[in-house]
Amino acid sequence: MRWSQTYIPTLRENQTEAELISHQLLLRGGYIRKLAAGVYLYLPLMQRVIENFANIVRDEMNRAGALEITMSVLCPAEVWQQTGRYNTVGKEQMRLKDRHQHEMVLCGTHEETVTSLVAGEVKSYRQLPLNLYQIQVKFRDEIRPRFGLMRGREFIMKDAYTFDTDEQTFLVAYEKMVQAYFNIFRRAGIDVVKVESDTGAMGGKAAHEFMMLVDTTAGEEVILFCDQCDYAANREKAPFRDPAKVVAESTQKSMQVVDTPGAATIEEVTAFLKVDATKLVKTLLYMADGAPVAALVRGDRELNEIKLKNALGCTELAMANPDQVQEYTKAPVGFAGPVGLKDVMILVDPLVTKLTNFVVGANQNEKHIINVNLERDFKASRVIDLSQAQGGDGCPKCEGRLTAKKGIEVGNTFMLGTKYSVPLNATFLDAEGKEKPMIMGSYGIGITRTPQAALEKYNDEKGIIWPKNLAPYLVEIIPLNIEKPHIKEAAETIYGQLAAAGIEVLLDDRDERAGVKFNDADLIGLPMRITIGDKSLKDGKVELKSRSRGEMELVSVAEIVGAVKKLAEQLP
């Protein structure tokens, strides 16, 4: 491709809309443009990157025996009503009506569609197992679209679905997908770790996420690793062993309301009352599908909203606003407590059940209650793990300690069991003629998120440094003083040779200053660069250099194809 024939609108200035380096570089490199919040247009270079990644995914999926199909993005609401998810997906689902006032949805995932397809087609165990996948646009009205392609409202996903006759063959299919995922990310130049994860809105039994570890703000997920065993889990689900030494007192003292003027936060209250945070219980008021819920966790722990949401099985969960806090506790924010709380469900974390004579809010402005005891002074509606695991906690599987690291979720795998096959009647007749529901799995990879995620690692102060299998082109040719005939001729010769060898190449044929060309080349970040200048060309040589490494080599025009291939082998 010639620069003059394509469209690469690079930008010199930093773009204020981009918080992440990867997002910034995609904008500045002329890869993407924003149309609306979470809605992006892919320009010619990005289109090639997406195709490169999609082709890696396709290749590994096909090798693993999966069959590519394409399912519509538009789906009648009925299919989602049949599984009950129509009422539980919440506002993330984009909905619309057609001209006949028929309710339709734009799919954010395709379990419903694919299961109803298979239910209508597959009748016998002889037709199974089956693994169907697609690379398709998804719509999700994300509450916080941000970070460019990382969290869009319209994005591309690879989603695969397996159908099996029994648990044993399902586990084989699942492992095949896990292996395919490791192959895919390795080929894309991305190191991933597989961690245990929450099953979320997808439901089902167990799930894993594939995380790229990063130490930038791009890491929206927190992963806990054990320092002694192979335990690794997303904080969203991670159980943990409590490292705090909490000693129960032998006698229950009498409860007492005390003034805590000016003290509302945990730090203020513990400082004022001179007690440890483990002696205090936080009461957090939430609205779960419109109903008030009080969640109690020990003062030194954070509440995990995912655990809370799972425990309640609700669709919409949000912290109560100040008016709601006032309505249910009769006090301003900061003084909620479980004693005397009426018409509110009280969920208590197990760590709280071990405490005696603890401190809670008094449901009165600037007052707390000391020497509170569960059962004697208030009752728990339910005791359930609500605490967020954190670095320094004990591993739930061994005696080791957990360390926290940030990660970007690039893919995931779910064990769905019969969650979709039962409501959608995806059944088959086994060898004995007995009707059984199919065992399912679903497997996602972010086709637009992953290449951007890669850039969190592959960049420097000048721009992008693509790993070779994602790069829109492998080599950029930069002829200096292209107006000189012998320079132009050498550029054309090299361009022709590389193209003939099947190497993807971009020729900067613009009549621009060297500085402009070099800056653009650094910004768009092709893995290799061939610079053609007067001086070396006198000896029939050109400069070959990788984007990631400083050193350049002089290569004769005749030997350029071999030199490029050799250098490519050394690059990520």
Residue nearer to ligand ATP on the CB measure, 363 or 412: 412
| Binding span for ligand ATP by CB under 6 A among 323-331, 384-392, 444-452, 532-540 | 444-452
Helix residue ranges, H only, 400-527: 449-457, 485-500, 514-524
Count of positions on this chain that bind ligand ATP (CB under 6 A):
17
140 binds ligand ATP (CB under 6 A): yes
Residue nearer to ligand ATP on the CB measure, 165 or 412: 412
547 binds ligand ATP (CB under 6 A): no
444 binds ligand ATP (CB under 6 A): yes
**Crossing angle between the packed helical segments 449-457 and 44-63, to the nearest 10 degrees:** 100
142 binds ligand ATP (CB under 6 A): yes
Distance of alpha carbon 411 from alpha carbon 50, whole angstroms: 15
Q: What six digits make up the tokens of 162?
A: 């397996």
109 binds ligand ATP (CB under 6 A): yes
Measuring CA to CA, which residue among 367, 354, 406 is closest to residue 245?
Answer: 354
Distance of alpha carbon 39 from alpha carbon 139, whole angstroms: 10
- Least separation, in Å, of the C-beta of 148 and ligand ATP? 9
Measuring CA to CA, which residue among 383, 334, 339, 375 is closest to residue 356?
Answer: 375
Residue nearer to ligand ATP on the CB measure, 207 or 374: 207
Q: ∠ at Cα 13 (7, 17), nearest 5°?
A: 90
Residues facing residue 105 across a β-bridge: 75, 95
Half-sphere exposure of 108 (CA within 13 A, CB side): 19
- Least separation, in Å, of the C-beta of 33 and ligand ATP? 17
29 binds ligand ATP (CB under 6 A): no
462 binds ligand ATP (CB under 6 A): no
- Least separation, in Å, of the C-beta of 520 and ligand ATP? 28
- Least separation, in Å, of the C-beta of 25 and ligand ATP? 17
Choose which of 34, 95, 151, 405 interacts with ligand ATP (CB under 6 A). 151
Pairing of strands 382-383, 345-348: parallel
- Least separation, in Å, of the C-beta of 421 and ligand ATP? 19
410 binds ligand ATP (CB under 6 A): yes
Strand-by-strand arrangement of the 74-76 sheet? 74-76, 103-106, 94-97
- Least separation, in Å, of the C-beta of 442 and ligand ATP? 8
- Least separation, in Å, of the C-beta of 470 and ligand ATP? 15
| Binding span for ligand ATP by CB under 6 A among 188-196, 265-273, 322-330, 443-451 | 443-451
| Binding span for ligand ATP by CB under 6 A among 19-27, 68-76, 404-412, 427-435 | 404-412
Say which residues have a Cβ less than 8 Å from residue 400's Cβ, sequence separation at least 6: 226, 227, 228, 229, 231, 394
For 126, phi and psi rounded to 5 degrees? -65, -25
Residue nearer to ligand ATP on the CB measure, 143 or 431: 143
- Least separation, in Å, of the C-beta of 74 and ligand ATP? 19
- Least separation, in Å, of the C-beta of 538 and ligand ATP? 51
Distance of alpha carbon 294 from alpha carbon 525, whole angstroms: 52
412 binds ligand ATP (CB under 6 A): yes
Distance of alpha carbon 383 from alpha carbon 403, whole angstroms: 27
| Binding span for ligand ATP by CB under 6 A among 446-454, 530-538, 544-552, 564-572 | 446-454
Residue nearer to ligand ATP on the CB measure, 200 or 400: 200
3-state class of 555 per DSSP?
strand
Looking at residues 187 to 206 of the shown chain, list those that interact with ligand ATP (rule: CB under 6 A): 200
Q: What six digits make up the tokens of 342?
A: 């009426």
463 binds ligand ATP (CB under 6 A): no
Residue nearer to ligand ATP on the CB measure, 142 or 377: 142
80 binds ligand ATP (CB under 6 A): no
Q: What six digits make up the tokens of 250?
A: 């032998």
- Least separation, in Å, of the C-beta of 395 and ligand ATP? 23
**Residue of closest CB approach to ligand ATP:** 446
Choose which of 148, 204, 407, 411 interacts with ligand ATP (CB under 6 A). 411
Residue nearer to ligand ATP on the CB measure, 151 or 186: 151
Residue nearer to ligand ATP on the CB measure, 395 or 415: 415
Distance of alpha carbon 536 from alpha carbon 326, whole angstroms: 78
Q: What six digits make up the tokens of 414?
A: 């779910």
**b/e per residue, 133-160, with b = 16+ CB within 10 A?**
bbbbebbbbbeebbbbbbbbbbbbbbbb
Residue nearer to ligand ATP on the CB measure, 150 or 474: 150
Query: Sign (positive/negative) of CA torsion 313, 318, 322, 323?
Result: negative
- Least separation, in Å, of the C-beta of 220 and ligand ATP? 6
- Least separation, in Å, of the C-beta of 169 and ligand ATP? 23
Amino acid (one-letter) located at 265: T
Residue with tokens 């002089």: 554
Say which residues have a Cβ less than 8 Å from residue 313's Cβ, sequence separation at least 6: none
Q: Are the beta carbons of 16 and 455 closer than 8 angstroms?
A: no
Residue with tokens 């991670």: 238
Distance of alpha carbon 123 from alpha carbon 427, whole angstroms: 7
Residues present in the chain in total: 572
157 binds ligand ATP (CB under 6 A): yes
407 binds ligand ATP (CB under 6 A): no
Distance of alpha carbon 542 from alpha carbon 492, whole angstroms: 13
- Least separation, in Å, of the C-beta of 366 and ligand ATP? 40
Choose which of 449, 468, 529, 541 interacts with ligand ATP (CB under 6 A). 449
Q: Are the beta carbons of 526 and 506 closer than 8 angstroms?
A: yes
- Least separation, in Å, of the C-beta of 151 and ligand ATP? 4
Gyration radius of the chain over CA positions:
29
155 binds ligand ATP (CB under 6 A): yes
Residue nearer to ligand ATP on the CB measure, 95 or 151: 151
Contacts to ligand ATP by CB under 6 A: 109, 140, 142, 151-152, 155, 157, 200, 409-412, 444-446, 448-449
